Structure 1
Amino acid sequence: MADASRAAYGNVLIEPPVSGITVTTGTNVSVSSSGQGTVAGETLWMVTATGTGAGPTNNFEINLPVASEAFSAKDVAIEIYTPNISKMERMVIYVGTTGYAKFASHSISTAIVPTTQSPFAINGLTAYFVHEILWTKSGFTHPLGDLDCTQCKLRVYVSNGNTLTIGLRSIRAGAMRKKARLAITADDGYSSFVRMGMPILQEYGLKSTMSIIYITVGTPGYASLSQLGAYVAAGNECIPHGPNHPTTLGTGNLFTAWATNTERLADVIACRDYLLENGLTSEWGAKCYIWPQGKYAETVTDLSFLELMLDNGFSVGRTSDGPNATYHMQKNNGLSTRNLQLLCGPVIGHTWTSSGTEAANIANISSYINDVAAAGGDGTLTLHRVVGPDAAAQQTQISSNRLRELCVAIKAQVDAGNLDVVLYSEFAR
């Protein structure tokens, strides 16, 4: 499963074939099996447990082998597999010195309820990222990155009566140590983004990526082929979007527009090929996809289309769910190439709600940009249509003055050396 074109970041604490794990249990949980198991051809450590009573002892711990040499753990990337993540009440990651005399912990209790549009909470192989500001320290006050950690464990809570199967694939420390990356994406291919949005971004030296519904190119409100060509010639790129149904013309998503995975894949590939044939994307852009309405699966238990996308060369994708206050970034280079989370990347905004709340909305997005920059993560800002000053009146619109505010926030982090603004296809490299 290794991808020679993409070097994984961070210090490996555990990875396939996973071995040497010990599992300990609380009094209100029963572990029926614990040992190596095969998932997608890889050896993970699989645990099946049932909650038998109330918390806080309704948990079991997956303990990694004690490291022979200390490691720094300012941040970690955790890859887990579970066929039904909703059976998990919460999960706590610990890193610490020998015997956990000093340790840091973080409880993952949100982003664990699966939907067909949200990142992270995915039934299958997924991931969570814990960066510096999320940790709770115990026994020390200095930066976590300075702590000489030798131990790591996951404490998994299972509600009374639930049975959970979970597999640990990998944990990497320091996966987010590289400089942060931010991709600015503009969905649907609206002409207003080319005519209003791109010039504002260019004032600040910022590149961007448009996701294109190719069947709407040149129709009213959408950029023409010549406009898209000029956009790409200016240092930007286009990547596939949809749906490209001849009747609905971009309305809905792949699962409302088409009845079968065969038809859905044909839609995606046709859009990719259109962009390649017209010189609007690169070999890396052709590996990207922006999910219409953020919807990547028909049901939370049927993730076959995600697997099909991976099988057909698509390696990164993006949802459109509103940003989670805690989990709004990832680091693609910290994940295995078959991790479904690669195709379900989070966003940090933007969605317009009302004139009265837009100032706070922009402030929140700016704070998320700062979070990404501080953590060294990968973040994605999503835009659609750009209108005049304070003229936004729909979810998919942003006022030009508000876009400028975001540009100022982004440029400040770029100038400080904390952040690179990249084409979305950089996430596929």
Structure 2
Amino acid sequence: MTAIVRDATAGRALLVQDHQRNRPLTNSRPGVPFFAFPRARPAGVTLSGSPAESYEMYEGEWCMKITTPVGAFTDIVLPVPTPLSLPDGDITALVHIESATNCLSVNLFAADSVGYANYSYAGQSNPAAPTFPTIARQGYVHIGINLATGDNVTDPQREWVVGAGTGMAFATTPVAAAKLRITPAAGTQATVRIFGVWYKERAKQSSIVLTFDDGWATQHSAALPILEKYGLRASLGIIGPLINQSNYMTTGQLREFIAAGSECVVHGNPSNPAYPGRLNLACYDTIPEIRADLRANADFLRANDLVTNNSDQVYIYPQGVWQHAKDDRRILDALAQEGFTAARGTVTNAVSIIGGRFARYDRWQIPIIGHLWAGAGAGLEDANITRIINRMTTAVNQGRCPWLTFHQFRAPTNQQDIDPANFEKICAAIAGLINSGTAVNLLATEFVAESLAQ
């Protein structure tokens, strides 16, 4: 099946082909809204804290725009006329944070009573310093998707946290009260656009995207046969100057990947010889310099006949760095100006993104389930592989779409290595999810095009 969709940001058409199965380009089950894409104050919604309130169309969607008072939080109280049974705590808010510097946090609260004697919360909090990679970000944010209890060490921003009393016991107690709280940084006002809050939001069928970074030769010698054995495909992040060098793939080997159904997308640095020694895009001061680096790696794919399905429009951030500092948009602006439609990072504390119509909002900062070798002895790596499979399976069962990332495929000598036998265990688990009908394996370009089509 083939479809044409258009990216409103870049104004470019994308050709998407579903190689795996003949299914419609839809992966969305929006769920039931508390409110969605409001044009006026939704029925039953109340505000506290005397914020500035307005309703506008922002980047093609209607939203509630809230600006808090200076230094004081605002609550958007959601209507819950009848207690809601939500065993998984499955409540999702889609918001746009205008300034990470001014917004300390946006949190969802769920309680068993309007008095909030027992409640839990989940949200987006911004640390004081813009370290990389981090969640210190402005832009579109999903809040409130619950993960399995106990995963808060590896996934702190998507876990419901006990706020008071015994917390919200989702498995046994219906939600009787819920609210969205916006808290500004001290001495500032936070502006947040709220597009909606839903419960029981799920993708009909989750997408699993496999990404390989850097173009290592072991990806061809060790990983490709395993992919072919299980009928899987991967998106390879390519650093142009490294290809055809020692320990890296040749252009011919990259074409073998493509012939097997995989693809090459744009990665970096090092890249542009005019800017040697740049380890990530934040090493450049100006947008033209950033664009030159982006273009150098994209041009390598174009010049060597390695572009398929607009794969030169998907980028993998070197070291996961996507901004110079909070609220700095030079890198994002450069990507858009160069015609990119999505970018994948290295943040692992969000593990996956919501599929379907909501995925398009996350496409510039796609998080991953990453692999780092846990070390030898005492079953450390066995437990590590089990954890990765469990996180992927949990994400799929919750209707989310995990992206997995790997580097070298060999007996481990450093943290970025994975033993091929352990990679095969992960591939076997993916094949099991596909065979059960709960997931499909998409390429990065297919996932992005499908998201933009929603």
Q: If the TM-score is normalised by the length of the shorter chain, which range does it land in?
A: 0.7 to 0.9
Pairing partner for 2:295 from 256, 262, 269: 269
Q: Measure how far apart 1:91 and its partner are.
A: 0.7
Query: What is the correspondence of 1:47-126 to structure 2 with a 5 Å cutoff?
Result: 47-51=67-71, 59-63=73-77, 74-84=90-100, 87-89=103-105, 91-94=107-110, 106-108=121-123, 115=130, 117-118=132-133, 121-126=136-141
Query: What is the correspondence of 1:1-400 to structure 2 with a 5 Å cutoff?
Result: 10-11=30-31, 14-16=35-37, 18-20=39-41, 22-25=45-48, 30-36=49-55, 44-51=64-71, 59-63=73-77, 74-84=90-100, 87-89=103-105, 91-94=107-110, 106-108=121-123, 115=130, 117-118=132-133, 121-128=136-143, 130-131=145-146, 133=148, 141=171, 153-157=179-183, 163-243=189-269, 244-246=271-273, 252-256=279-283, 258-321=284-347, 323-324=348-349, 327-335=350-358, 337=360, 339=361, 341-356=362-377, 357-387=380-410, 391-400=411-420
Return closer, same or farther for 1:20/1:128 CA change in 2, 3 Å cut-off: same
Q: Measure how far apart 1:182 and its partner are.
A: 1.1
Q: What secondary structure sits across from 1:354 in the alignment?
A: coil
Tell me the distance in 2 between the aligned counterparts of 1:398 and 1:208: 16
Moved more, 396-405 or 271-280: 271-280
Tell me the distance in 2 between the aligned counterparts of 1:71 and 1:309: 43
Q: Measure how far apart 1:385 and its partner are.
A: 0.9
* Preserved CA contact (<8 Å) 1:106 1:130: no
Return closer, same or farther for 1:248/1:186 CA change in 2, 3 Å cut-off: farther
Letter in 1 for 2:52: S
Tell me the distance in 2 between the aligned counterparts of 1:355 and 1:64: 50
Answer yes or no: is 1:410 the counterpart of 2:437.
Answer: no
Q: Aligned-pair RMSD on alpha carbons? A: 3.9
Q: What secondary structure sits across from 1:49 in the alignment?
A: coil
Moved more, 397-406 or 7-16: 7-16
Q: What secondary structure sits across from 2:54 in the alignment?
A: strand
Runs of 5+ in structure 1 lacking a partner? 53-58
Q: Percent identity?
A: 23
* Preserved CA contact (<8 Å) 1:48 1:165: yes
Aligned residues: 403
Q: Measure how far apart 1:291 and its partner are.
A: 0.5
Return closer, same or farther for 1:17/1:291 CA change in 2, 3 Å cut-off: same
* Preserved CA contact (<8 Å) 2:288 2:334: no
Tell me the distance in 1 between the aligned counterparts of 2:381 and 2:103: 37
Q: What secondary structure sits across from 1:335 in the alignment?
A: helix
Q: Any idea what the Cα deviations from partners look like across 1:330-364, whole Å, max 9, x if unmatched? A: 12533385x4x311111111122533443332222
Moved more, 5-14 or 179-188: 5-14
Aligned to 2:22: none
Runs of 5+ in structure 2 lacking a partner? 1-5, 15-24, 149-158, 450-454
